Structure 1
């Protein structure tokens, strides 16, 4: 850390991986993002065990006695449709409560980070996590399904708050040269959380009739780790200087984060933004919606957030076993292993995204990612329509289609919307922007979670066509409207949208007017204005 940052390209500093930066990024994503992913998938594997405990089985045993031999036929299960529907509907309430509460949590982002700061928000959220784990862990002992629902509500609030606080925090402490790769770590830990939930949910692990309460309560373990690490996690220098006016403390934190005393250019940028915010003040949600200078940033982020969920990704994770069952894959280990395989691919491709995002750029990854999802949604539709041929290899081809779909999602549409939300807005607009965008994301998440089973029943093998059209629409929009933001300061990014928003470029920006890469192409501008 005493090592001085080297200079490249004139005044550009080469980032240094400091202890302070590592602690801040690592434990913010381990303590928060991991839990979000974990609770997306944790209800999938033990679903039947939970329903059997609270609502009994959905079948009656048909036993035919043979008096002459005093033997009987093996017991067979005859499904009771009414009981099956009741069990599924009750469990759907617990599943969807997570997403519904996430909407509430997203609305708390602004107030919590404003009152307690970014780091303090983690402490508040960990308290919520402990309450959730207590309810989920004691639900079986108390024989109370209501306690499971309450636990899912609390962990949903936790996740909604985490989805706003984590990207905001790591975006504000990261050097601009690494902001993309570090931002994708948020999504990487979400995917790892999903995978860990799938692994622990196996019958050979915790997905059993006796151990599923431990599986649910495990969610508090990352919170314990984060609370232990809080003293070593840096405060946000942008929050200290811009929101609290603590210039000296902000500089001291920034020196530790960057590993060098040469931080004046970054301090000057923050001071300029603080000066602008002192005139404009912190924006409310209503002011954000009316603010012309962030209009296209907000449109871009909201459409990305909606498309991320309406593309069907959480339908795959919430109901992966049901999708594989529909495709003819036997229940039990084959389905569980297929789900784990999907989780492994999700993690691997997100790691790939971490490695290439600062080379390929945000726009290329998200546009090509949604484009791949279009293809695989079409392929899945064809495969599901071929199931009537009763060929085993066609059933397993559905796994390949789901994996291809996950690959497309993981390289761009998964991580980039969270990263872009932190990048596109200045300090005064960032908290309300996260509140609005996270609220929309969680609302779409809730819609998919509660409606997918009914939609799948109504549309049959054509359910992925709906998701395909969502991907087509967002791909076209982003290809035309979204600029590239890699390697740029927050002020430079704001200026990328200036012309489209019909506002003057900030003369205090360091954006070079001769740099064509820092502008929205005129062809794209003209096309968007015609639309």
Structure 2
């Protein structure tokens, strides 16, 4: 190959393959993750009534009406707990399976590639939708649990594969904004689930199976567009040694023949991976060159979940109950308002991330969450003391303020940063570990929040606030800015902290171009 190494200073182009790859990845996969976070909230009572019998109030005692037409009220104090516990099982199946799905990220992308992994995942989504849609006709609550488990596996895989895929096909100048699109479609999925779950739409006793089964529609759309989605050029060159195909794909993605610099960076990384080999999870933890990258990512993933965000989405109605906001339309509108703000602020994050940088948005976002956790604690305590109606609505303002802080940085950036901080050899195991930690914390919050809320009462958000304080200080001290930098430059940012030598930047002079086959010897000489 006789291509010269001339620096391409032209701006990136929004080519058709890039648009299709990014759009279909986030619409077909990230959207479903968000949709299934929130979809079980609105129709909860309808599902419990159908499978476990309805509850009603009879002289201020919770009872089960065994025969609504003729029987008198029959008191059964344990029935409400049984209903709640069984439904919690279906809710918890989603994050629990997400942990399993996260462990499949590495093997799936290694065998099928990034794009192939998305297609395999679509089969899981369709199977889940069949179970969820058939649960009511079959009269089987077990199908709800199985369907939630399958879609959890899907989401666990998606949270690893999608950021990896879109990060590898994106130009470095747009990698931040494109990476945030993953979170944007998650927030849109949450909002769509809240809207579809309204009683006036699909959240009715007759239509809730369609609400749950809708999850497969984006997968079907993504599968139909599969021929137009590009493969990852980094995977083609570094993992499969298909340099010609990688270059052709990159040319189509960038809309220019001048891709020499990017190709040379990938060749350098390919030689390093060929010399050192891909990393396993145990090797990842022992590898000094990625030590602080791994620490940073894991703490960000823990903080993202233990900051309480999914407690808000899984149990928003319970929070509003505690604040004294009436059930029905007021709570529904409050949940939709929360979802709308989540989408709006993520759109703003897309617009500003390449100007403000990743670090500023993370620190500012967690800082905002600290304030609103404290404010919500004060409001909930005031409601214990006084029953003034307007105070209860301040809780909505606090939740919305909290969402603003989360959506601007802590929501989208950890997934983007995970793709940016690691070289190709370390990226799949890093995503596996990061996703596993994220989903484990997600599961812990989902399964424990109702009990913790009952125990701590109006102080439930103090624990979340402590997590936000810790991570804000850590990121302000440790996290470097990665905006507009190549993967190699980002690795060099951590070199001093990891106590390893930095790597030389990619050469841009024709006389110093090194063929792929002789790169290994060159790397050994540099070391």
TM-score by length of 1: 0.91
SS in 2 for 1:12: coil
What residue number does 1:189 align with?
185
Aligned with residue 292 of structure 1, among 285, 288, 292? 288
CA distance in 1, matches of 2:22, 2:73: 51
Preserved contact between residue 241 and residue 250 of structure 1 (Cα < 8 Å): yes
**Is the counterpart of residue 281 in structure 1 residue 277 in structure 2?**
yes
Structure 1 position 297, deviation (Å)? 0.1
Say if 1:79 and 1:304 are closer, same or farther in 2 by CA, change over 3 A: farther
Q: Secondary structure at the match of 1:457?
A: helix
Deviation by residue 1:330-363 (Cα, 9 ceiling, x = unmatched): 0001001100000000000000000000000000
Residue of structure 2 equivalent to 1:71: none
Match of 2:225 among 225, 229, 235: 229
Q: Could you tell me how far apart the structure 2 residues matched to 1:78 and 1:226 are?
A: 51
Alpha-carbon distance between aligned partners in 2 of 1:438 and 1:22, rounded to the nearest angstrom: 26
Correspondences of 1:53-202 after superposition (within 5 Å)? 53-59=50-56, 61=58, 80-202=76-198
> Could you tell me which of 303, 307, 319 is aligned with 1:323?
319
> Deviation of residue 79 (structure 1)?
7.9
Counterpart in the other structure of 1:25: 22
2:373 is matched with which residue? 377
Identify the residue that residue 48 of structure 1 maps to in structure 2. Answer: 45
- Name the SS for the 1:16 alignment partner: coil
Deviation at 1:266, TM superposition (A): 0.3
Displacement, 1:510? 6.7
Q: CA deviation at 1:405?
A: 0.1
| CA–CA separation in structure 2 for the residues paired with 1:114 and 1:363 | 31
Q: How far off its partner does 1:157 sit?
A: 0.1
Distance 1:436 1:325 in 2: 36
| Count of residue pairs brought into register by the alignment | 492
Instruction: Give CA deviations for 1:360-419 in whole Å, capped at 9, x if unaligned.
Output: 000000010000000000000000011131111100000000000000000000000000
Q: Per-residue deviation at 1:57?
A: 2.1
- 2:443 pairs with 1:463: no
Q: In structure 1, which of residues 359, 372, 377 is the aligned counterpart of residue 355 of structure 2? A: 359
Distance in 1 (alpha carbons) for counterparts of 2:72 and 2:81: 20
Q: Provide the C-alpha distance between the structure 1 equivalents of 2:463 and 2:72, rounded to a whole number of angstroms.
A: 38
List alignment gaps of at least 5 residues for structure 2: 1-5, 61-70, 509-527
Aligned partner of 1:408 among 387, 405, 409: 405
User: How many Å apart are 1:82 and its aligned residue?
Assistant: 1.7
Shift of 1:76: 12
In the TM superposition, what whole-angstrom CA distance separates every residue of 1:127-154 from its partner, at most 9, and x where no partner exists? 0000000000001111111110000000
Question: CA 1:264 to 1:225, structure 2 compared with 1: closer, same or farther past 3 Å?
Answer: same
**In 2, distance between residues paired with 1:58 and 1:87?**
10
Retained in 1: the 8 A contact 2:8–2:259? no
User: Map of 1:439-454 to 2, 5 A cutoff?
Assistant: 439-454=436-451
What is the rounded CA distance, in whole Å, between the counterparts of 1:79 and 1:179 in structure 2? 59
Residue 399 of structure 1 aligns with which residue?
396
How far does residue 61 in structure 1 lie from its aligned partner after superposition? 4.1
Identify the match of residue 37 of structure 1 among 19, 34, 39: 34
1:239-288: CA deviation from partner (whole Å, max 9, x where unpaired): 00000001100000000000000000000000000000000111000100
Aligned match of 2:210: 214
Q: How do 1:416-455 and structure 2 match up within 5 A?
A: 416-455=413-452
Match of 2:497 among 496, 500, 506: 500
Q: Is the 8 A contact 1:308 1:414 kept in 2?
A: yes
1:473 corresponds, among 470, 475, 488, to: 470
Instruction: Tell me the C-alpha RMSD between the 2 structures.
Output: 1.6
CA distance in 1: counterparts of 2:393 and 2:72, whole angstroms: 27
1:302 and 2:298 equivalent? yes
After TM superposition, give the deviation of residue 85 of structure 1 in Å: 1.1
Whole-Å separation in 2 of the counterparts to 1:149 and 1:312: 24
Deviation of 1:86 after TM superposition, in Å, equals 1.1
Distance 1:12 1:307 in 2: 38
Q: Distance in 2 between matches of 1:323 and 1:165?
A: 33
Contact 1:59–1:80, Cα closer than 8 Å, also in 2: no
**8 Å CA contact 1:102, 1:159 repeated in 2:** yes
Structure 1 residues 13-22 or 456-465, which shifts more?
Answer: 13-22
| CA 1:76–1:403: 2 relative to 1, 3 Å | farther
Relative to 1, partners in 2 of residues 1:497 and 1:79: Cα closer, same or farther, differing over 3 Å? farther
Taking structure 2 as the reference length, what is the TM-score of the superposition? 0.92
In 1, Cα distance between the equivalents of 2:166 and 2:73? 52
Matched, 1:311 2:307: yes
**Kept after mapping to 1: 8 A contact 2:96/2:443:** yes
Query: How much has 1:59 moved relative to structure 2?
Result: 3.8
Map Cα deviations across residues 105-135 of structure 1 (whole Å, 9 max, x no partner). Answer: 0000000000001110011000000000000
Gap runs ≥5 in structure 1: 1-6, 64-74, 512-531
